[in-house]
Structure 1
């Protein structure tokens, strides 16, 4: 595996938002540092009620703990503010549930540098078709909505594995209206952000349960589409 610091002069921070991830966090972080031993990371413990905080303390993980559960947006922004303060050139959003594979990080960084991309998305669907399911139907609809409003196609708008350059770090750290969701990606594309995608494989959640059950998934997709198609016209 590449040595990030020797092969380029870019500082990369992996942001790992975590809420009640005691069953998967240790496996996720240990794999991350095993694959890329010299990578910098920050676990953002979002007011977890389980043993997430204790695991971070026991294992000596670099982490911050929010006093109460504040949601993904606040957790992600906390990581971006940390990246900004500490002079990172790139920040990678990386799930704590074990779905993301750190092997693809170097490919994402290479593309970000080569094409001067503002955002690089780890996409499941650059070279593959979306499976037939209610969740993937929602993803297809969001892809169409982004295409209609920006003229750009984002194959995997709901991917949670995204790399951001310094300019995007500054924007997310300083703009409370932005969030790590498809509607913000669409908005940033409209404002001129250069977005690229890299084909990746993702695993099923390794432990615990997703907060997105079927009703919440439907509400999530509906909210994203309404924001992309209508609300953003007024921003």
Structure 2
């Protein structure tokens, strides 16, 4: 039985580029359904996308994460092709990436970007991507070369088991962590990344969205690795309490007195907080382990494209 392929395109104010995006993916994947989810565009994005032959739907909650959550919930397919509506990604690579997904039994293939000009992928964005990708690898182990790529191929079991809790551009980071934590088979494929068509404007704010992505990584680390997160916090609190307690101990052994009572109270409080952090980490680690088992079972309840 042939695979059901869905191209899902979140977009906001992409009147200039959406027709080109839809046409290119329709030509590259003639057997696929093209879905465009509009996110409160104030231009003619909806009309242009519909005229190009796409199935157009809307999501009123603003933010890329909100749109992707709605897409993955609504659209039923065996293979999902996620791309942006700005005509920057190479539609010709989609078939190769789908073949990788199916033939190698993968759950996600990320299109790592190879830019064709400096205007296509600004140096500031490249630096931020490398920094965040390196940090993700440090926090969660082996990672990808391009965690912020918006060009991805999913299996059904990835799409239907992915909670999509974030609301904005940090959604790609959540996808990467989700696959790493459940130890899914994933891969990357280098794809060309082009300059936007004239008149199309990037919605990504380098500093604001970069901070949101960094904050999401730290939050996911706290949620997914509570023993390490709270263990580090407990160690820092204990180290601080020891540093403050040493002069008190020296004075006590020399004079038998504790003249700096507030410092002694602070040391006691820091020691108690350190212990509470350690026990919190232990308890939450048990909770996370059980939750990860449930997520893994939910993920395995769907067949992969390789098994169709």
TM-score normalised by structure 1 residue count: 0.82
Over 3 Å counting, the alpha-carbon distance change for 1:225 and 1:141 in structure 2 is farther
Specify which of 176, 191, 195 is matched with residue 186 of structure 2: 195
- Tell me what 1:148 maps to: 138
Task: Spell out the pairing of 1:188-227 with structure 2 (5 A cutoff).
Answer: 188-206=179-197, 207-227=199-219
Deviation at 1:152, TM superposition (A): 1.1
2:25 is the alignment partner of 1:32: yes
Q: State the alpha-carbon separation in 1 of the partners of residues 220 and 86 from structure 2.
A: 27
Specify which of 15, 20, 33 is matched with residue 22 of structure 1: 15
Q: State the alpha-carbon separation in 1 of the partners of residues 184 and 166 from structure 2.
A: 14
- Tell me what 2:150 maps to: 160
- Tell me what 1:92 maps to: 81
- Tell me what 2:125 maps to: 135
* Structure 2: 5+ residue stretches without partners: 115-120, 227-287, 289-308
Task: Say which structure is richer in helix.
Answer: 2
* Structure 1: 5+ residue stretches without partners: 1-7, 126-130
2:168 is the alignment partner of 1:177: no
More relative contact order, 1 or 2 (CA 8 Å, 6+ apart): 1
Larger displacement relative to structure 2 (38-47 or 51-60): 51-60
Deviation at 1:61, TM superposition (A): 2.4
Deviation at 1:132, TM superposition (A): 8.6
- Tell me what 2:249 maps to: none
Q: State the alpha-carbon separation in 1 of the partners of residues 213 and 65 from structure 2.
A: 16
Q: State the alpha-carbon separation in 2 of the partners of residues 189 and 50 from structure 1.
A: 38
Larger displacement relative to structure 2 (91-100 or 191-200): 191-200
- Tell me what 2:68 maps to: 76
- Tell me what 1:5 maps to: none
- Tell me what 2:37 maps to: 44
TM-score normalised by structure 2 residue count: 0.64
Runs of 4+ in 1 over 3 A off after TM superposition: 56-60, 227-232
- Tell me what 2:224 maps to: 232
Larger Rg: 2
2:109 is the alignment partner of 1:120: yes
Q: Give secondary structure in 2 for the equivalent of 1:70.
A: coil
Q: Deviations over 1:161-199 (max 9, x none)?
A: 011101111113xx2526732133123311222220011
Deviation at 1:220, TM superposition (A): 3.7
Q: Give secondary structure in 2 for the equivalent of 1:201.
A: strand
Length, aligned pairs only: 217
Over 3 Å counting, the alpha-carbon distance change for 1:184 and 1:32 in structure 2 is closer
Over 3 Å counting, the alpha-carbon distance change for 1:35 and 1:150 in structure 2 is same
Q: State the alpha-carbon separation in 2 of the partners of residues 197 and 205 from structure 1.
A: 23
